[in-house]
């Protein structure tokens, strides 16, 4: 799925099942266990259930940390599935706007360099 912005094809971010599961665990560890820094547990659980190497688990967690935190916090503040879906849509829209702004800034820099 993608959106078209000014002739540019920008794909809409889709959260993978692994990211959603890690975000849910992030939320549960913070809410139910009071763990403020749950990253070691998230990585170990991801490695165990996804049957991946520890190094790959850390790479996944570090690469997707912002998404995991954003979706985890969305789990925490959503009162029902509809609120969660609406929140995911807002996160996707925010991501699209940020990427569009970065792309436009890069284009402006390219134009400035060529002048």
> For 87, which DSSP code?
H
| pLDDT for 55 | 96
Q: Are 12 and 1 in contact (CB under 8 A)?
A: yes
Number of domains observed in the structure of the chain:
1
- pLDDT of 108 reads 82
Residues of the chain with pLDDT under 50: 1-5
Range(s) of the domain holding residue 25: 2-114
- pTM passes above 0.85: no
Do the Cβ atoms of 56 and 47 come closer than 8 Å?
yes
Rounded CA separation 25/17 (Å):
12
Q: Pull the structure tokens for residue 36.
A: 């403020």
DSSP 36: S
């Amino acid at each position: 799925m993608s959106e078209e912005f000014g002739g540019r094809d920008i794909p809409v971010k889709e959260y993978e099942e692994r990211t959603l599961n890690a975000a849910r665990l992030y939320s549960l560890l913070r809410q139910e266990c009071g763990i403020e820094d749950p990253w070691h547990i998230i990585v170990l659980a991801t490695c165990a259930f996804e049957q991946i190497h520890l190094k790959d688990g850390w790479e996944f967690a570090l690469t997707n940390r912002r998404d995991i935190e954003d979706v985890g916090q969305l789990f925490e503040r959503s009162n029902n599935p509809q609120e969660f879906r609406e929140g995911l849509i807002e996160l996707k829209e925010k991501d699209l706007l940020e990427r569009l702004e970065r792309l436009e800034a890069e284009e402006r820099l390219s134009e400035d360099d060529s002048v």
